[in-house]
Amino acid sequence: MNLTSIRLITDDVDRLVEFYETVTGVVAARPAPVFAEFRAETGTLAIASSATVAMLGDKAPKPGPDGSTIVEFMVADVDAEFDRIRAVIGDVVLPPTTMPWGNRSTLFRDPDGTLVNLFSLPTS
């Protein structure tokens, strides 16, 4: 079994896609107006309209933060990335910080409130 993607459900696909395009520096693949993908070697972050899960009725995932999800991206330089995107991230949860286990991390919320972590591994 291979994990292929994580999908975020939103009521504003364009807004979330624009945010993640800025954060990742990658243009999303948009096979339909209600769906986008950020493909990487290790997996895909998908963004989809709530309309794409409407057939699930009351059991459909709801847009917005669920309190248990963190979307994580490994980067070469957390501080440089933070400086590059600072203007588009409104809610900084943790400014660039060296974690007790050695990773350098910054956490912030996307426009729907989902936590995003940019981190780099220890250099030594």
pLDDT at position 72, please? 95
H helices present in the chain, as ranges:
13-24, 78-85
pLDDT at 124 over 80: no
pLDDT classification of 64: cutoffs 50, 70, 90 = confident
β-strands 43-49, 35-40: how paired?
antiparallel
Q: What is the pTM assigned to this prediction?
A: 0.91
Residue 123: which pLDDT band, with cuts at 50, 70 and 90? Answer: confident
CA-CA distance, 123 to 15, in Å (whole number)? 35
Element (H, E) at 119: strand 115-120
Q: Does pLDDT of 66 surpass 90?
A: no
Indicate the residue type of 84: R
Residue type for position 13 = V
Cα separation, 100 vs 71, in Å, equals 20
pLDDT, residue 12, reads: 96
What is the C-alpha separation between 99 and 90, in angstroms, rounded? 22
pLDDT, tens digit (0-9, with 9 covering 90-100), for 74-120:
999 999 999 999 999 989 999 999 999 999 999 999 999 999 999 99
Express each pLDDT in 11-53 by its tens digit: 999 999 999 999 999 999 999 999 999 999 889 999 999 999 9
E strand intervals along 50-113: 70-74, 91-98, 104-109
Which domains, from first to last, does the chain contain? 1-62 (3.30.720.120), 64-124 (3.30.720.110)
d(CA 104, CA 118): 8
What would the mean pLDDT of 56-62 be, rounded to a whole number? 90
